[in-house]
Structure 1
Amino acid sequence: MSDDQQGPLKERRRLGSWMPAQEERMAAFRCEIAARSRARAERAGQAWSPASVVRDLSNLVHGDPVLRMNLTRAIDDARDAGYELGYGSIDELIRIVDYLMTFAPPFDASAPVATPLNAVLDWPMCMPSGYAAFRDPAFNAQMRRVLDYWCGFLSGPHSRTHLNADSPDGWFCEEARRKIDMDAFLCDPAKPYWGFASWNAFFTRELRPGARPVAHPDDHRIIVSACEASPYNVREDAQLYDHFWLKAQPYSLREMLVCTPDERVQRFVGGSVYQGYLSAFNYHRWHAPVAGRICEAYNVDGTYYSNTEAQGADPGGLNHSQGYTTAVAARAVIVIDCDDPAIGEVACVFVGMAEVSSCRIVALPGQHVDKGDELGYFQYGGSTWCAVFRPGVIDTFVPQPPYRDDGPPIRVNAHLATAKGSKR
C-alpha cells in the first residue's frame, strides 16, 4: 500500500468488466461465497472432502513452510490493511477454492464477477508476501491442475445453471443479450440452453457468417485485429530483454516469445508491439491478423495470479500488470510469416490471466491462413493479447492514445494497423 493511501481502497479500476470496480461489491461477493462454502461443508460434516486437486493444493501449501508462511502473511496483511476477504486462514481459503470448482458465474450487468477465484485472491496476491507466493513454481503448477479441473466442470452439462433467459442473472435475459450482442452468434433459442452443451461452449460461441467481416481482405498491408478487444498500449522500439516488471510497461521480447528461436526473435528487435484487453462480455476466439503461413504455434505454462509490484494496492493496479503478464503468464504464441515479404513475420501472443488461462490453438505450423481465419480461442473467457511487428513495418495504428477504459472494443477482423506502402 502506498505511503499516502489512507485505509483500504473503496474503488479500483479492473479492466475488462471481469470484476466490479466497487470494493464493497467485491467484499460482498467474497463473503457470500465464503458463507456458501462453509454451509456446504457443515451439511456434509465428516463426509466433506475437497476435490483431489484442491486437496493436493492444500497438502503442497501446508507441506512447504516458506510457501505456507508467505500465503499466511499475505492473507493477514490484506486483512490488516482493512480488506474483507471472507476468510482468515489457508484452510478457510481452501474450502472456498473447493466450492468454486462447481461454480458457474451468473450474468450481472452492473457488478459482474466473471473470475470468482481472482476475486477471492484479489488482495492477498498484491501484498508483499503475496508476490512471492504467487510466483512459486510448485504453487503455479498445482494451480494449473486446479484451474484445469474447474475448466472441466465448465465444459460439462452441470455448468449450464445460468444459461437461460431468467432475469437478472440468466445469460440470455434481454439485458444480457443486448450486452453481448447475442444476435451476432450461432445459437437456437428454441433449444434447451439455446443449444449450448456447456458454459464453455457458450463462452467460446461462434459468430454467424458475415457478423465480423474482414477489413480489406485483398490488401495485405491492412492488418486486422485478432481479438475483440479494447486498445491498451502501443510500444515502439521493443527490446530483446527489458524490465518487464516496471510500471512503464516495456515489452521484453525474449520472455514473451520464450520458445521462439533466437534468430527469429532478433528480427522483432526495434519493432512495434500493440496490446489490447478483452472484456468478460466479448467474443473470445482469435483470428489471423494477416494472411500467411503459420511458422510457430505453441503454449507456454506460466503464472496464474502473479502481478508486478508496480501494481500495488493502487486504483489503476491491473493496468500495471497487463504488460507484465505477456512475459510471465500462461499464454499461446502464434507466429505467421505474412504473404507480403515487406511485412515478414507477425507474432501474436494470447495471454490467459487468472481463471482464463486455457489457451487452445487450432492453427498448426505449416498451415496457410487467410486474413480473418480462426487461430484458436480462450477456453472460459479471455484476457489480453499482443501483436508484435518487425521494425519499420507499421505506418500507423488505428487506435490512438489516450486509450479510454470505457471505450468500445475494436472488433475482431476490423482494421487495426496499416503497414507502410499500403494501397488504400
Structure 2
Amino acid sequence: MQAVSNKRPSGDASPDARQLKRRLGNWMPQQEEAAVAYRRSIAQAAREQSRSKPMTNVVFELKKLIQGDTVLRMNLTRAIEEARDAGFETGYANIDELIQIVDYLTGYAPPFNATVPIATPLNLVLDWPMCMPSGYAVFRDPAFNAQLRKVLMHWCGFLSGPHSRTHLTTAEPDGWFSETAQHKMQLGDYLCDRAQPHWGYVSWNDFFTRRLRDGARPVDEPSNPAVIVNACEASPYNLGEGCQLHDRFWIKAQPYSLREILAGTPRSVVERFVGGSVYQGYLSAFNYHRWHAPVAGTIREAYNVDGTYYSELECEGTDARGLNDSQGYTTATAARAIIVIEADEPALGTIACAFVGMAEVSSCSITVTPGQRVAKGDELGFFQYGGSTYCLIFEPGVIQTFEPRPPWRDDTPPLRVNSRLALARL
C-alpha cells in the first residue's frame, strides 16, 4: 500500500525525551511528572477505599481470571516489573495493587483540567506496563480483553448514572461548566439548560455525548454529492492510498488491512475498497463525540466488533504515546463500530466508516440500522465516555482531493464535523 502520511517519529526513550513527547487529543498530561503525580494520588485513594468498600464484582472476576491463568499472571507481573526496572513510576508494585486502582476507577468521574487533562485515567495507570515486552501479550489476550470489556462497561454504567455528576458544576478549577471550561470547550455550541442543576444533564455520559445546537455545525453543501464531509470532530492523523485486502498492519508503517478492519462485512463488499483510500482522524477529549454521515445514502452494514482496548505495537517502542502512534494498527484490532453506506450518488460507490474505541472508550453506540436512508450530516452514533480514532474508506478512483493534506502537526485543531473533508470525482 502506498501511504501519504504524517507519521510522528517515536524518538528515543530517554527521560528527557519522554518529558517532551506529545500526547494527541488532550486525553492525558503531556509531561510525565504530572502523570506520576496523578498515579500516586489515585493509588492512595484506591488503597483507602479498599479498606472500607468491597471490591466490585466485575473487577473481582478480572482478578480471578488473572490469578487462574498462569501465563497471563506471569506476563502481567513481568510487565509491571519491567516498567519499574526501566525507571518508570506506575503507582503500584504488583497485580493486587493494580486491581485496587482498577476497582477505584469504576466509580470515578474525571474532573475538568485545562492544563493537565486526565480524561482516560486507566490508560494513564497502564501506560508503561502495556508497552513493556511482556505487556504486549497481556493486552492482546482474548480472555483478558473480554473481562476488561465488562469492567469498562460497568464503569460506563456508573458514568451514565446520576452519581457521576460530581464535576458537572461551574466551580473552578475542576468543574466542566467553569468559565475556563466554557471557553476551552465552546460550550455555547451545545444544547443545555443552565437554569437546571448540572445544566440539565442527567449523567457524565449525557454531558459527554451532548448534542449540538441547531446551526452549530452546518453541513457543507448538503445538496452537492461531490462534497464529502467529516464524520467526526477530529484532527487529521493519516491518509493511506492503494489499500490492500490484507496487509502487514502490525509493522511500523501500519498500512491499512481492509479485511481486518471490516471484519464482519461480506468479502465481496470489502473487495470494492481494494486500491482505494483511507482517511483517519483522532478525537480530542474536549470536543464533540457523535458521528455523522459523510454522504447521503443507505446504510448497508451497521455492527460492532469486539477487540482490544490497550494493545499497541511493539515497533512503536517504549513510549507513553505508543497507543496514539499505534492508531493505524488499532483500526484492525481494537473494539470498533463499522457502518457501511451505499451512496445515493452512484459515482461515490460505497463508503465504509470505522469508529474505533481505544483505551477507556468501552461503548461505540450505533444509532442507525441497515436499510435506513441517511442524509449527509445525519447522526450515525456516538462514543460514550471518551473518543478515539476513526476512518473513512473509499473505493479506488472516487476521491479527487482531500481537504486536509500532510504534513500535519500534533497540535492541529480538530476539523469540525460536517465540514468539507474531500471532493469526489463525478
Query: Same fold by TM-score, threshold 0.5 exceeded?
Result: yes
TM-score band, normalised by shorter chain: over 0.9
Question: Secondary structure of the equivalent of 1:317?
Answer: coil
Match of 1:200 among 183, 199, 205: 205
Give the 5 Å matches for 1:386-405. Answer: 386-405=391-410
Match of 1:16 among 9, 25, 48: 25
Question: In the alignment, what sits opposite 1:378?
Answer: 383
Asked if the contact 2:292–2:418 (Cα under 8 Å) also holds between the matched residues in 1, the reply is yes
Question: In the alignment, what sits opposite 1:25?
Answer: 34
Match of 2:171 among 163, 166, 171: 166
The Cα of 1:356 is off from its aligned counterpart by 1.0
Asked if the contact 1:15–1:318 (Cα under 8 Å) also holds between the matched residues in 2, the reply is no
Match of 1:178 among 166, 174, 183: 183
* 1:187 partnered with 2:192: yes
TM-score, normalisation: structure 2? 0.96
Deviation sequence 1:143-163 (CA, Å, 0-9, x none): 000000000000000000000
Counterpart amino acid of 1:35?
Answer: Q
Asked if the contact 1:311–1:319 (Cα under 8 Å) also holds between the matched residues in 2, the reply is no
Asked if the contact 1:228–1:411 (Cα under 8 Å) also holds between the matched residues in 2, the reply is yes
Question: In the alignment, what sits opposite 1:264?
Answer: 269
Asked if the contact 1:7–1:81 (Cα under 8 Å) also holds between the matched residues in 2, the reply is no
* 1:96 partnered with 2:101: yes
* 1:214 partnered with 2:214: no
The Cα of 1:167 is off from its aligned counterpart by 0.3
Asked if the contact 1:300–1:332 (Cα under 8 Å) also holds between the matched residues in 2, the reply is yes
Supply the distance in 1 between the matched residues of 2:384 and 2:260 (Cα, whole angstroms): 23
Counterpart amino acid of 2:75?
Answer: N
Give the 5 Å matches for 1:253-292. Answer: 253-292=258-297
Question: Secondary structure of the equivalent of 1:158?
Answer: helix
Counterpart amino acid of 2:168?
Answer: L
Supply the distance in 2 between the matched residues of 1:40 and 1:283 (Cα, whole angstroms): 33
Counterpart amino acid of 1:405?
Answer: D
Report % sequence identity: 66
Match of 1:333 among 332, 338, 346: 338
Which blocks of at least 5 consecutive residues in structure 1 are unaligned? none
Asked if the contact 2:348–2:424 (Cα under 8 Å) also holds between the matched residues in 1, the reply is yes
The Cα of 1:12 is off from its aligned counterpart by 2.9
Counterpart amino acid of 1:220?
Answer: P
Supply the distance in 1 between the matched residues of 2:158 and 2:320 (Cα, whole angstroms): 33
Question: Secondary structure of the equivalent of 1:34?
Answer: helix
Question: In the alignment, what sits opposite 1:364?
Answer: 369
Question: Secondary structure of the equivalent of 2:37?
Answer: helix
Question: In the alignment, what sits opposite 1:34?
Answer: 43
Deviation sequence 1:277-321 (CA, Å, 0-9, x none): 000001000000000000000000000111111222136534431
Deviates more, 1:8-17 or 1:91-100: 8-17
Question: In the alignment, what sits opposite 2:58?
Answer: 53
Deviates more, 1:142-151 or 1:3-12: 3-12
Q: Alignment RMSD, CA only?
A: 1.3
Supply the distance in 2 between the matched residues of 1:181 and 1:236 (Cα, whole angstroms): 35
Supply the distance in 1 between the matched residues of 2:162 and 2:224 (Cα, whole angstroms): 43
Question: Secondary structure of the equivalent of 2:391?
Answer: strand
Question: Secondary structure of the equivalent of 1:267?
Answer: helix
Deviation sequence 1:83-136 (CA, Å, 0-9, x none): 111100000000010000110000000010000111100100000000001100
Give the 5 Å matches for 1:15-164. Answer: 15-42=24-51, 44=52, 48-164=53-169
